[in-house]
Amino acid sequence: MSAGNHTIKLGILGSGSGSNMQAILDAIEDGSLNAEITIVLSDNPDGYILERAKKAGIPAEVIDCGGFTTKFPDQSQQALAEKLKALDVDIICLAGFMRLVKQPMLDLYPNRILNIHPSILPAYPGLEAWQQAVDDGATESGCTVHYVDAGMDTGPIILQAKVPVLANDTADTLHQRIQVEEHSLYPAAIRKVAVEIKP
| CATH number for the domain that contains residue 100 | 3.40.50.170
| 95 domain residue, yes or no | yes
- What's the Rg (C-alpha) of the chain? 16
| pLDDT tens over the chain, length 199 residues | 334 568 999 999 999 999 999 999 999 999 999 999 999 999 999 999 999 999 999 999 999 998 888 889 999 999 999 999 999 999 999 999 989 998 889 998 989 999 999 999 999 999 899 999 999 999 999 999 999 998 889 999 999 999 999 999 999 999 999 999 999 999 999 999 998 875 5
Residue numbers of the domain that contains 187: 8-118+143-162+178-196
What is the C-alpha separation between 115 and 107, in angstroms, rounded?
Answer: 16
| 172 domain residue, yes or no | no
What is the C-alpha separation between 123 and 161, in angstroms, rounded?
Answer: 13
| 171 domain residue, yes or no | no
Q: For residue 61, what pLDDT is reported?
A: 96
| 156 domain residue, yes or no | yes
CA dist 36 to 10, 59, 94, 97, Å? Answer: 6, 12, 15, 19
| 130 domain residue, yes or no | no
Query: Which residues are designated catalytic?
Result: 117
| 90 domain residue, yes or no | yes
* pTM for the model: 0.93
- β 113-117/140-147 pair status: antiparallel
Number of domain units in the chain: 1
| 3 domain residue, yes or no | no
| 78 domain residue, yes or no | yes
